[in-house]
Structure 1
Amino acid sequence: MNIKRTDSDALNATITIEVAQADYKEKVDKILADYRKTATIPGFRKGHVPASLINKKYRTPVLVDEINKIIQEQLNEYITKEKLNILGNPLPVEQEEIDWSSDDFKFDFEIGLAPDFEVDVKGKKSVTHYQIKTDDETINKQIDRIRQQYGKLVSKEVVEEGDQVTGIFRNDDEDINTDATFSIDKIKGKTNTKKFIGAKKGDSLELKTKGLFEDDHDLMSNLKIEHDKAHDLDVPVTFEITEVNKREMADLNQEFFDKLFGPDVIKSEDELRERLREDAKKQFTQQTDQKLLTDITEGLIEDTKFDLPADFLKKWIANNGENELTEEEAAAEYERSEKGLRYQLIESNILKANEDLQLKFEELKDYASAQIREQMKQYGHTNATDEEVDQVVARIMQNQEEVKRMSEQLQNEKMLKFFKDNAKLKVKEVTYEDFIKEAYDA
């Protein structure tokens, strides 16, 4: 057996495996001898079939199977022994029809090598780490929203600001005849709003769909039209008002507190404010952490420069799926997956340089235990024993999909903490509304 590697460049190489007769003969001869003992061929007694007939009938498929096994084993051993950091899997180089009557064989495999590069986590530019305020104004707005949500509707005759109207949108040409209910606050612009303010039940308003609502998605849902059509629709409609309602806020009393959190969990407005502040902080932290992780990831991909064996990877993509792809399809798939691959390599580089970031089995078990305890608390089981939790964790650890999901979550948490400790961050305190506008260009 002879194996060698020939480098085309820093990212591409060919592994050549030469298989000699001595590498396979003993195993092939044994398999054929066993076949001879058990083969049932008309005209011959079992165990007395001539060896020449067995060789003629079975030698080639047995030889092909055995050589394939040898090649795969030796290829994997060589890659491991040489510590080759390959991308994808080795691809066999096409050759003319193999003469299986020969004694010796040679096979070539293309491989794509991962590039060598360094990662500068700190980077040149700072990344904004948003922190959302949970000040009194934010909590007041949230309490008002909840009181509105749990308040009661009071029927009215005349529309005023903040009211909720129900009616029918009509346009015969566009086949629009739909019931709709919405708050006046959803209407866009003073001109449109003035048409509603002071209107009465039974009135019919002349409106235009373009710029009618602050959000085109409201137009889509209220007129029951398709998403793409809603963005460009510019037609006149009538709106016949059938109901006018004012939503009165719910009182801040024990009945209200119990509806929100269960009997006697919250007993005062001060306790409500503190609970909402804690919940908001957790929710906001999840959102700002996800934004930070996304921004740092994109920054690392942009700033960490290295080449990839693109041609090899496109060829590997074309041949790796259930169905073979064309060159154009493989190129398109490579474009879609390139950023993800780059970040995988960057993350792998960081993990190699920081052993404490690498997941350990005990860490994963502890993480699963903490999640199980939290879920049990949510269902009222606040005093779960270690034995109960361990039994659930044992079942989870047998589920590969669940283990993969938790591993990804824990790895993300560890990477996030690492970035917080090592990246160049610029803390910016904002309201939730400003965070949405700045972070997502809303």
Structure 2
Amino acid sequence: MNITKQQIDDLNAVLKVEITREDYQEKVDSILRDYRKNANIPGFRKGQVPMGLIKKQYGKAVLVDEVNKLLQDHLNTYLVEEKLDVLGNPLPKQQDNFNWDAEQLAFEFELGLAPDFQVSLKGKKAIPHYKIVADKKMIDDQVARIRKQYGKLVSRPEVGKEDEVSGTFLSEAHEINHKTTLELAKVKSKKALEALKGKKPGDTVTLKTKGLFTEDYLLPSALGVPFDKAKDLDIEVSFTVEEINERQPAELTQELFDRLFGPDQVHSEKEMREKIKDDSEKQFLQQADQKLLNDVTESLIESTRFDLPMEFLKKWIQNTGEKPLTAEEAQDEYERSEKGLRYQLIEGKLISEHGLQVQFEELKDFAKGFIRSQMAQYGQTNPSEEDLEGIAARVLSNRDEVKRLSEQLMSQKLLDLYKEKANLKTREVTYEQFVKEVYG
């Protein structure tokens, strides 16, 4: 077997593979002899079928199969030995009226080659690196929510400004008959609040659904209707008051602190506020990191210029899926995937140039950290090292989990690289400011 490469340009090449009969004949003959031993053909005893008949019936199929195996094995070996960085897989060139009986078989394969390029993390324009802080207003709101959530309900004789009113929404025309509890603090409509003010159990008021609540998502659950039906609903419904309660905020006692944060972790309102601030900012860090990762990715794609073997890739996309695509479908798919392919090449370059690797011990520690955080969500805050080792071993025995965790760990390594090397500008913001700037 002989393989030669013809360089078309920097991004395209053609491999020519020549196979002689000696490369495959012995293997083909061995397979056909096995076929003969086991062939059941009417008129012949098992194992006594003439070899000529076996070759006539199975010879071409066995030949084609063995040649394809040879091609695959030797092409892969050649690409590795020659250190050719290819995109996609080699594409066989169409050969009409191919003669499988020839003494020498010649095949040609198109290659799409990865471009040679440089990556600079020091872009001209600084990328914002958000540091999200929990401000006093956010902490005050969180304390108020906690006190309300763990407070006690006190029955009231009539509806007041901040009460919770249980009752039934009714509209026969729209098939609405649903019991619910209204938190008046979440009722937006001034007319509705005025209508409910001073009402007693047994009283019925008429409310308009449009603009009833401060948030649109509250209406479907209050009326007991699907979101699609509630989305543009603008009708009048009756609401019959059944129960009125005032939620009195909980006192900030040691019992509440222990319930919220675990025994003897927090001992005062000041420590509680510090804990809320610390926990909130740890959660914000994940969002800020993801934003940074996205922004650096976009910046690298934009600033790192290189060509791709576009025509080869479109042809590869067109012919290597579960079913062949039209040229137009392949063009659309290429346009959808081009940005992702570009970043894969950039990422691979960064990983190679900076020696980023995922070692097994690192992966195991990463898995244990992930397991520890998962267990903490279910109240298991102090698992033993033996338990963590056992669970990690089970997780890492799953190939899909290993792949997923490896990708997450490499993403973290890249993020650390960007924080160290990229042109970043720290921007301290509150969470409200972050949401406004990032999501509009």
Q: Which TM-score applies when normalising by structure 2? A: 0.85
Q: CA deviation at 1:420?
A: 1.2
Q: CA deviation at 1:410?
A: 0.9
Q: Which residue of 1 aligns with 2:367?
A: 368
Q: CA deviation at 1:370?
A: 4.3
Q: CA deviation at 1:67?
A: 0.4
Q: Is the 8 A contact 1:119 1:349 kept in 2?
A: yes
Q: Which residue of 1 aligns with 2:417?
A: 418
Hey, what's the Cα distance between the residues in 1 that align with 2:300 and 2:125? 11
Q: Is the 8 A contact 1:13 1:113 kept in 2?
A: yes
Go from structure 1 to structure 2 and tell me whether the alpha carbon gap of 1:389 and 1:153 turns closer, same or farther (over 3 Å shift): closer
Hey, what's the Cα distance between the residues in 2 that align with 1:277 and 1:286? 15
Q: Name which of structure 1's ranges 254-263 and 40-49 shifts more when overlaid on structure 2.
A: 40-49
Go from structure 1 to structure 2 and tell me whether the alpha carbon gap of 1:373 and 1:209 turns closer, same or farther (over 3 Å shift): closer
Matches within 5 A, 1:185-204: 185-188=185-188, 190=190, 193-204=193-204
Go from structure 1 to structure 2 and tell me whether the alpha carbon gap of 1:274 and 1:319 turns closer, same or farther (over 3 Å shift): same
Q: Which residue of 1 aligns with 2:275?
A: 275
Q: Which residue of 2 aligns with 1:427?
A: 426
Hey, what's the Cα distance between the residues in 2 that align with 1:139 and 1:44? 90
Q: Which residue of 1 aligns with 2:288?
A: 288
Q: Which residue of 2 aligns with 1:379?
A: 380
Hey, what's the Cα distance between the residues in 2 that align with 1:376 and 1:420? 29
Q: Name which of structure 1's ranges 145-154 and 250-259 shifts more when overlaid on structure 2.
A: 250-259
Q: Which residue of 1 aligns with 2:147?
A: 147
Q: Is the 8 A contact 1:373 1:384 kept in 2?
A: no
Go from structure 1 to structure 2 and tell me whether the alpha carbon gap of 1:173 and 1:110 turns closer, same or farther (over 3 Å shift): farther
CA RMSD for the aligned pairs? Answer: 3.2
Q: Is the 8 A contact 1:169 1:223 kept in 2?
A: yes
Q: CA deviation at 1:48?
A: 6.0
Structure 2 unaligned segments of length 5 or more: list them: none
Query: Which SS does the other structure have where 2:161 is aligned?
Result: coil
Q: CA deviation at 1:314?
A: 4.0
Hey, what's the Cα distance between the residues in 1 that align with 2:176 and 2:388? 57
Q: Name which of structure 1's ranges 111-120 and 147-156 shifts more when overlaid on structure 2.
A: 111-120
Matches within 5 A, 1:375-414: 379=380, 381-384=382-385, 389-414=388-413
Q: Which residue of 2 aligns with 1:249?
A: 249
Q: CA deviation at 1:74?
A: 1.7
Q: How many residues align?
A: 438
Q: Which residue of 2 aligns with 1:353?
A: 353
Matches within 5 A, 1:5-404: 5-33=5-33, 50-188=50-188, 190=190, 193-355=193-355, 357-372=356-371, 379=380, 381-384=382-385, 389-404=388-403
Q: Which residue of 2 aligns with 1:438?
A: 437
Q: Is the 8 A contact 1:376 1:384 kept in 2?
A: no
Go from structure 1 to structure 2 and tell me whether the alpha carbon gap of 1:259 and 1:56 turns closer, same or farther (over 3 Å shift): same
What is the identity percentage for the equivalent residue pairs of Structure 1 and Structure 2?
A: 52
Q: Name which of structure 1's ranges 34-43 and 426-435 shifts more when overlaid on structure 2.
A: 34-43
Q: Which residue of 1 aligns with 2:4?
A: 4
Hey, what's the Cα distance between the residues in 2 that align with 1:50 and 1:368? 61
Query: Which SS does the other structure have where 1:214 is aligned?
Result: coil
**2:20 is matched by which residue type in structure 1?**
A
Hey, what's the Cα distance between the residues in 2 that align with 1:229 and 1:5? 64
> Alpha-carbon deviations, 1:261-300, whole Å to 9, x = none?
3444444334433332332222121222122222222333
Q: Which TM-score applies when normalising by structure 1? A: 0.85
Hey, what's the Cα distance between the residues in 1 that align with 2:156 and 2:305? 65
Q: CA deviation at 1:330?
A: 4.4
Q: Name which of structure 1's ranges 197-206 and 66-75 shifts more when overlaid on structure 2.
A: 197-206
Query: Which SS does the other structure have where 2:158 is aligned?
Result: coil
> Alpha-carbon deviations, 1:304-344, whole Å to 9, x = none?
33343444434433444444445555444444433332322
Hey, what's the Cα distance between the residues in 2 that align with 1:232 and 1:126? 44
Hey, what's the Cα distance between the residues in 2 that align with 1:154 and 1:8? 83
**2:94 is matched by which residue type in structure 1?**
E
Go from structure 1 to structure 2 and tell me whether the alpha carbon gap of 1:231 and 1:36 turns closer, same or farther (over 3 Å shift): closer
Query: Which SS does the other structure have where 2:169 is aligned?
Result: strand
**2:411 is matched by which residue type in structure 1?**
N
Hey, what's the Cα distance between the residues in 1 that align with 2:216 and 2:373? 39
Query: Which SS does the other structure have where 2:142 is aligned?
Result: helix
**1:400 is matched by which residue type in structure 2?**
R
Q: CA deviation at 1:352?
A: 1.7
